[in-house]
């Protein structure tokens, strides 16, 4: 996705600092796979939300919470990769690439990714999720890059910081205005005739996250001093994290769900961390991007055997994303049949954990972790092959779209 999306430059500016971006992206997309394995295999996923403090455990909460880093890091680094890609393109060429890449991602979400999630060839439901949000954000970025960089940065920050002013704005009903508002700022499920539409990723803050990521790319421009970049990343990471703690502590703005004292200090802390993803609140964004900046600050260095593998995955995130959903869903079909369910029970007409025919199905959280590790290991050789193929066929422009 460059977050599943963008190609990083492959000229002389590919250095260790670019590998640190690939490293973060590879780590994040592997963590994302954990959440999707949990969706299809964890028994409790079909009974309650893992962040529901009245029912969850601390371990289950953190299993879900750690995956909160995935989408904002993907979107942010997509903007960063767009900037780096633009170093070897004209603005017009970059704008065209972003526009066509964005349109491709929107089509991919509706036609392929939805089918992978549901296995429903009749398309009784469309799932509008992260790939769609990345695509729409790229389409907007295709226009934003023609503005001065400071204007892009200010626009991005305003969209991230001010969109929570809209939290109490609702458009009731199921008409066109309601659907349009859901696309902008409110997660909802609609029935349009006999077809469901699940709008999972309202778009306003995602445009801002990608736009600020584009400006962030200047830190990785050729000739930028590595020591200065590290200092800047530490300041950004520490500042964003501190701002999250302060604003969350005040408990007045930045997230539609306020934190509150719970049954014990640990669960009160979980409440403090339990910010809103759909759409990503200001506090959610600060909570996830702040530590990510700190990771990047300390990730520039020699790779070891593990980080080299993470970098490989980070160079082909869209390929991993497309493969892992269908692979996990196929495994879930076999698991359902082996435990007394029908294969057709895994043909979905709504989000997997909302499917009534699957209540009672599922496995322990330990099984989820073991399956997650198995999925990652199984997909790594394919990612390694595709990475090598892309690097040896750079003349094929279509490869930059997957």
H or E, element range at 195: strand 195-199
Rounded average pLDDT over 272-278: 97
Indicate if the pLDDT at residue 5 is higher than 60. Answer: no
Residues in the chain: 402
Question: Pick from 11, 80, 5, 1: which is nearest to 391 by CA?
Answer: 11
| Residue-range domain boundaries for the chain | 16-401
Cis status of the peptide bond prior to 236, with omega within 30 of 0: no
Rounded average pLDDT over 36-43: 98
Kindly report, residue by residue over 310-365, the tens digit of the pLDDT. Answer: 999 999 999 999 999 999 999 999 999 999 999 999 999 999 999 999 999 999 99
195-199 and 125-128 strand pairing:
parallel
Indicate if the pLDDT at residue 59 is higher than 50. Answer: yes
Kindly report, residue by residue over 188-234, the tens digit of the pLDDT. Answer: 999 999 999 999 999 999 999 999 999 999 999 999 999 999 999 99
User: For the chain, first and last CA: distance in Å?
Assistant: 8
Band of the pLDDT at 397, cuts 50, 70, 90? confident
Q: Please report, rounded to a whole number, the percentage of residues in the chain having pLDDT higher than 70.
A: 96
**3-state SS, one letter per residue, for 21-65:** HHHHHHHHHHHHHHHHHHHHHEHHHHCCCCCCCCCCCHHHHHHHH
Indicate if the pLDDT at residue 276 is higher than 60. Answer: yes
Rounded average pLDDT over 13-41: 87
Indicate if the pLDDT at residue 35 is higher than 90. Answer: yes
Per the prediction, the chain carries an average pLDDT of 94
Band of the pLDDT at 237, cuts 50, 70, 90? very high
Quick one: pLDDT at residue 301?
87
Band of the pLDDT at 235, cuts 50, 70, 90? very high
Indicate if the pLDDT at residue 75 is higher than 90. Answer: yes
Kindly report, residue by residue over 121-174, the tens digit of the pLDDT. Answer: 999 999 999 999 999 999 999 999 999 999 999 999 999 999 999 999 999 999
Band of the pLDDT at 9, cuts 50, 70, 90? very low
Q: Please report, rounded to a whole number, the percentage of residues in the chain having pLDDT higher than 90.
A: 92
């Amino acid at each position: 996705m460059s977050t599943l999306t963008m190609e990083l430059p492959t000229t002389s500016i590919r250095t260790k600092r670019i590998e640190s971006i690939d490293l973060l992206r590879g780590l994040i997309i592997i963590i994302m796979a954990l959440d999707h394995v949990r969706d299809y295999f964890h028994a409790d996923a079909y009974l309650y939300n893992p962040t529901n403090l009245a029912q969850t455990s601390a371990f289950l909460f953190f299993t879900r919470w750690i995956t909160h880093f995935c989408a904002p890091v993907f979107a942010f680094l997509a903007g960063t990769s767009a900037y780096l890609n633009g170093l070897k393109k004209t603005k017009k060429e970059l704008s065209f690439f972003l526009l066509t890449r964005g349109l491709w991602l929107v089509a991919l979400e509706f036609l392929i990714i939805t089918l992978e999630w549901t296995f429903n060839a009749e398309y009784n439901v469309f799932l509008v999720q992260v790939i769609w949000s990345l695509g729409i954000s790229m389409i907007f970025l295709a226009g934003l890059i023609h503005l001065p960089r400071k204007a892009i940065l200010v626009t991005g920050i305003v969209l991230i910081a001010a969109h929570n002013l809209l939290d109490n704005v609702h458009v009731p009903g199921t008409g066109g205005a309601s659907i349009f508002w859901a696309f902008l700022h409110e997660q909802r499920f609609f029935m349009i005739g006999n077809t469901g539409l699940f709008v999972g990723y309202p778009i306003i803050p995602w445009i801002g996250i990608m736009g600020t990521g584009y400006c962030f790319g200047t830190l990785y421009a050729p000739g930028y001093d590595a020591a200065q970049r590290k200092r800047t990343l530490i300041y950004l990471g520490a500042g964003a994290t501190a701002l999250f703690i302060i604003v969350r502590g005040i408990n007045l703005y930045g997230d539609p769900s306020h934190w509150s004292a719970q049954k014990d200090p640990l669960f009160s802390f979980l409440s403090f961390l339990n910010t809103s993803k759909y759409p990503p609140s200001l506090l959610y964004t600060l909570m996830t991007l702040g530590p990510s900046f700190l990771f990047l600050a300390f990730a520039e260095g020699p790779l070891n055997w593990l980080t080299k593998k993470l970098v490989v995955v980070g160079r082909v995130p869209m390929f991993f994303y497309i493969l892992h959903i269908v692979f996990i869903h196929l495994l879930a079909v076999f698991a359902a049949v082996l435990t007394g369910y029908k294969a057709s029970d895994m043909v979905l007409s709504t989000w997997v954990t909302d499917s009534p025919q699957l209540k009672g199905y599922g496995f322990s959280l330990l099984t989820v972790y073991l399956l997650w590790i198995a999925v990652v290991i199984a997909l790594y050789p394919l990612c390694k092959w595709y990475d090598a193929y892309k690097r040896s066929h750079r003349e094929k422009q279509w490869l930059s779209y997957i």
